[in-house]
Amino acid sequence: MRFLSALLLLLLALPVAAKEEVVLGLSQNEVSITTNFDGSEILIFGAVKREDAIPEGPELEVIVTVAGPSKSVMVRRKEKRFGIWINTDGVEVDRAPSFYAVTTSGPLSEILSNVEDQRHRISIPNAIRSVGAPQHIVNAASFTDALIRIRLNSDLYQLNEGEVTIEEQTLFRTSVALPSALTEGGYLTRIFLTRGGEVVAEYETIIDVRKAGMERWLFTLSRENAFLYGLMSLAIAIAAGWGASAIFSLLRR
């Protein structure tokens, strides 16, 4: 009995890790894609809620990810044969976000361990799911690397290290630039708090990206009445051709 009492007192005397939670704010939680849409910037800001003092030890770090709708993607390899470039081998990537941005308060490799990265699928390579490839494909991983490289070059994938500002280990803010070529849908936004490479808290919300105005009307028409949409497209093409011809004739005079 004395042993159990002593053990209980020892457990009560041990320090308890302070619980930290994310309180998040967004400059906007909806993005409308219109005919003149050329991109948008989302301001992400928040605070860390604590019931106790700031924990001692490694400093707080923040990671923000924004992921567009995911779908499968066929990636093909081009080779030059008989003087022309042709598609040869192809690998289907099972799931890849249409847009993915990782914004951090420091170098990602320093503030996040590999184990936590794989568990939460935070880095760009871990956000992509590619289960397997045909047996005849050599170096299947190169197809995923090519997809990442192409989307990095077009700003559809982004790694912004050191772009999250943290004040007094409590307040943080950053911004994420959304390009003009956005896929419609819900954009999952995740915030991770890390200490010593370990995730100590996380938060999720959705940014809704939808077509609006004329873009929305044309998109709905193309899905619900393809015949009328085709006729209208043909009429516009004929009118544009006639207009161009008329202008050219006037210029020749």
What confidence score (pLDDT) does residue 16 get? Answer: 43
Question: Where do the domains of the chain lie?
Answer: 14-211, 212-253
What confidence score (pLDDT) does residue 40 get? Answer: 79
d(CA 96, CA 153): 16
For the stretch 173-212, what's the b/e string if a residue is b when 16 or more beta carbons lie within 10 angstroms of its beta carbon? bbebebeeebebbebbbbbbbbbebebbbeeebebebebe
- Residues 60-114 pLDDT 10s: 999 999 999 998 888 777 666 666 666 566 777 888 999 999 999 999 999 999 9
Q: Which range is least confidently modeled, 72-81, 135-144, 181-190?
A: 135-144
Q: How large is the angle between the packed helices 226-252 and 213-224, nearest 10 degrees?
A: 120
Q: Strand pairing of 100-104 and 157-160?
A: parallel
What confidence score (pLDDT) does residue 6 get? Answer: 44
Q: Which CATH architecture has domain 14-211?
A: Sandwich (2.60)
